[in-house]
């Protein structure tokens, strides 16, 4: 659906007359007088804030122009400084979407411009004066209801949960995207945190299946997106989907492809993960090229084989399922060498795959917010919870994801490092001398400076974590027919959860009283709750 939003405030202006009118008008229609317009004089500009990250563009009504060759430049930005940037400065560019454009300023016109991710826009008059009657942002967002919910006595955690929900919702279209400004694509290896949020908040949404099918149908005899671990993640997402919704018909449609994937995995394990294309052995950008990365690959493969075994067994593919178990057992029992130096992201994956050494356990448990990444942070949180340390997980969520909110974020970012925040201005402020531009001065790998996406679905992991791990939700039988509840409030006084299932909403209320957790669960018919 289209959501029309008026600008909330003027950040700055130059050579503007009657600028206040731009905040008042919602009349997307030129009329036969020039009152209630703003005038942008030749060479002047105005920078507007719509209050939150959006996906879409603007509807601009131009009343009149002072000359036939008048043009208007529009610079969309996810931060104030990105909107004030010139093309090419600090990696400001048009990637996957046009965010910096100059068009004819047409007399008495109402037109829509832009299809990108943004919160701010700068309008600049070129060649002549331009009278603008109104501007509204158009937020293209799915009309999808939030079925799941999370509330607790900590308002910061509540805000982080909601921000993760909004981040994912902006990326839910016909397919599930990585980001609304850049990477408006189906990257299957990046999707798992997003699909985890969708199942616990939005339910059985069709964009997940469309994306899974798209990448399957477009991959012919190769690894998805050319990367083995991306195919492993496809398997893991399918397992999550089946366990949550129990759709055996849809699972059965994957039978032949899953058998092919299993055979490819057997081959790569037999070859000790030695590939001609070393770039294919990829976990995440922050681990790329490190000696320990291969242990992350093996761990993701181990998890995928465990799930392949179970799904193929359900589909009566007994022989292939049994072979998956052989290779799964081989990887699981081949523990990580204690002499190998691991980063905390790879260490967490070995914990989740039950391949960890004591060193990798200790590495995971000692993780701080200074060692996090937006994507792999989800798996660090899950590993900490698996080891019974929800307290550290909540501490990290508050300090790491909370730091983005403190910097003005309304959606979570592609990447963030706590070091960047030490002397940084907020994204909704002009950066003055002596302060760092959190958006334009930092970034790593392929996401440097203004190319960095400030709305990236893979950063939404805390939303899924809070929905499931604090109350210890574990689906024991496909279709949520049996769910285990094992709360660990980690210092919270109370938590309320709404968790969608095929049979309706499971409502969980937990209260901490005298160091004991009292739990009340209301479940629909068809769902058995065990403790």
pLDDT tens-digit series, residues 392-412: 999 999 999 999 999 999 999
d(CA 10, CA 140): 23
- Position 71 scores a pLDDT of 98
Strands 436-437 and 424-425: parallel
d(CA 179, CA 452): 10
- DSSP classification of residue 397: I
Contacts of range 425-431, beta carbons closer than 8 Å, 24 or more positions apart: 427/78, 427/79, 427/80, 427/81, 427/119, 427/454, 428/11, 428/49, 428/79, 428/80, 428/119, 428/120, 429/80, 430/11, 430/12, 430/80, 430/81, 430/84, 431/80, 431/81
Q: What is the mean pLDDT of residues 403-427?
A: 98
- Position 277 scores a pLDDT of 61
**pTM given for the model:** 0.97
- Position 306 scores a pLDDT of 98
Which of 393, 398, 375, 400 is CA-nearest to residue 488? 393
Q: Exposure pattern of 455-478 as b/e (b: 16+ CB <10 Å)?
A: bbbbbbbbbbbbbbbbbbbebeeb
**Orientation angle between helical segments 155-170 and 461-468, nearest 10 degrees:** 120
Confidence of residue 33 (pLDDT cuts 50, 70, 90): confident
- Is the confidence at residue 487, as pLDDT, over 90? yes
- Position 278 scores a pLDDT of 55
Angle (CA) 179 185 189, round 5°: 90
Confidence of residue 448 (pLDDT cuts 50, 70, 90): very high
Instruction: Please tell me which residue, 230 or 221, carries the higher pLDDT value.
Output: 230
- Position 477 scores a pLDDT of 98
- Position 508 scores a pLDDT of 98
- Position 280 scores a pLDDT of 72
Instruction: Please tell me which residue, 211 or 29, carries the higher pLDDT value.
Output: 211
- Is the confidence at residue 299, as pLDDT, over 70? yes
Using an 8 Å Cβ cutoff, are 312 and 321 in contact? Answer: yes
* Phi, psi of 420, rounded to the nearest 5 degrees: -65, -25
Q: What is the mean pLDDT of residues 438-450?
A: 95
What's the half-sphere exposure (Cβ side, CA atoms, 13 Å) at 42? 9
d(CA 402, CA 384): 19
Confidence of residue 185 (pLDDT cuts 50, 70, 90): very high
Q: How many CB atoms lie within 10 A of CB 245?
A: 21
Q: What is the mean pLDDT of residues 358-362?
A: 94
Confidence of residue 289 (pLDDT cuts 50, 70, 90): confident
- Position 276 scores a pLDDT of 66
- Position 484 scores a pLDDT of 98
- Position 456 scores a pLDDT of 98
pLDDT digits (tens, 9 = 90+) for 243-274: 999 999 999 999 999 999 999 999 999 999 98
Q: What is the mean pLDDT of residues 109-132?
A: 97
- Bridge-partner residues for 444, per DSSP? 447
């Amino acid at each position: 659906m289209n959501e029309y939003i008026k600008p909330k405030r003027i950040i700055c202006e130059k050579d503007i007359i009657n600028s206040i009118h731009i905040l008042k008008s919602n009349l997307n229609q030129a009329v036969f007088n020039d009152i209630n317009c703003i005038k942008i004089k030749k060479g002047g500009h105005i920078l507007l804030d719509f209050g939150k990250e959006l996906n879409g563009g603007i509807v601009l009504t131009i009343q009149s122009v002072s000359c036939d060759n008048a043009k208007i430049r529009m610079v969309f930005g996810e931060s104030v400084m990105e909107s004030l940037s010139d093309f090419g400065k600090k990696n400001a560019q048009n990637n996957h979407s046009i965010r910096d454009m100059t068009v004819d300023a047409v007399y008495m016109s109402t037109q829509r411009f832009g299809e990108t991710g943004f919160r701010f826009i700068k309008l600049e008059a070129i060649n002549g004066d331009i009278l603008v009657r109104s501007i509204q942002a158009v937020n293209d967002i799915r009309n999808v209801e939030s079925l799941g919910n999370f509330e607790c006595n900590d308002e910061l955690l509540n805000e982080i949960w909601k921000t993760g929900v909004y981040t994912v919702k902006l990326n839910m279209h016909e397919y599930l995207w990585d980001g609304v400004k850049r990477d408006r694509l189906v990257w299957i290896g990046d999707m798992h945190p997003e699909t985890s949020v969708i199942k616990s908040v939005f339910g059985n949404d069709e964009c997940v299946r469309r994306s899974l099918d798209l990448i399957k149908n477009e991959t012919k005899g190769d690894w998805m997106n050319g990367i083995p671990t991306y195919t492993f993640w496809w398997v893991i997402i399918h397992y999550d989907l089946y366990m949550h919704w129990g759709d055996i018909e849809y699972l059965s449609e994957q039978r032949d492809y899953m058998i092919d994937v299993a055979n490819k995995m057997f081959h790569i394990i037999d070859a000790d993960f030695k590939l001609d294309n070393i770039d294919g052995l990829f976990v995440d950008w922050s681990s790329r090229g490190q000696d320990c990365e291969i242990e992350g690959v093996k761990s993701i493969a181990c998890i995928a084989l465990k799930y392949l075994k179970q799904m193929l067994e359900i589909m009566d593919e007994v022989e292939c399922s049994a072979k998956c178990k052989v290779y799964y057992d081989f990887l699981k029992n081949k523990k990580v060498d204690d002499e190998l130096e691991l980063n905390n992201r790879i260490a967490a994956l070995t914990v989740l795959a039950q391949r960890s050494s004591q060193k990798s356990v200790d590495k995971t448990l000692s993780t701080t917010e200074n060692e996090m990444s937006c994507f792999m942070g989800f798996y660090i949180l899950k590993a900490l919870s698996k080891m019974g340390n929800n307290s550290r997980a909540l501490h990290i969520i508050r300090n790491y994801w909370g730091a983005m909110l403190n910097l003005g974020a309304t959606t979570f970012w592609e990447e963030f490092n706590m070091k960047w925040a030490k002397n940084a201005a907020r994204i909704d402020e002009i950066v003055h001398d002596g302060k760092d531009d959190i958006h334009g001065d930092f970034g790593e790998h392929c996401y440097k400076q203004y190319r960095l996406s400030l709305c990236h679905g893979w950063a939404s992991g805390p939303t899924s974590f809070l929905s499931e791990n604090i109350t210890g939700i574990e689906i024991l039988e496909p279709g949520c027919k049996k769910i285990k509840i094992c709360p660990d409030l980690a210092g919270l006084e109370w938590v309320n959860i709404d968790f969608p299932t095929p049979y309706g909403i499971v409502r969980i209320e937990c209260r901490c009283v005298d160091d004991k957790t009292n739990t009340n669960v209301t479940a629909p018919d068809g769902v058995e709750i065990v403790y």
